Amino acid sequence: MIRYGDAALTLAAGLTAGTAQAAPTIEGLLKDGWEIVGLAGNYDVRTSLLLFRKKDVTYLVQCSTLYDVTRDKRVVVNCYELH
Task: Name which of 8-12, 25-29, 50-54, 72-76 the model is least confident about.
Answer: 8-12
Query: SS in 3 state form for 17-81?
Result: HHCCCCCCCHHHHHHCCCEEEEEEECCCCCEEEEEEECCCCCCEEEEEEEECCCCCCCEEEEEEE
Mean pLDDT over 32-50 rounds to 90
pTM check: above 0.75: no
**9 band by pLDDT with thresholds 50, 70 and 90:** very low
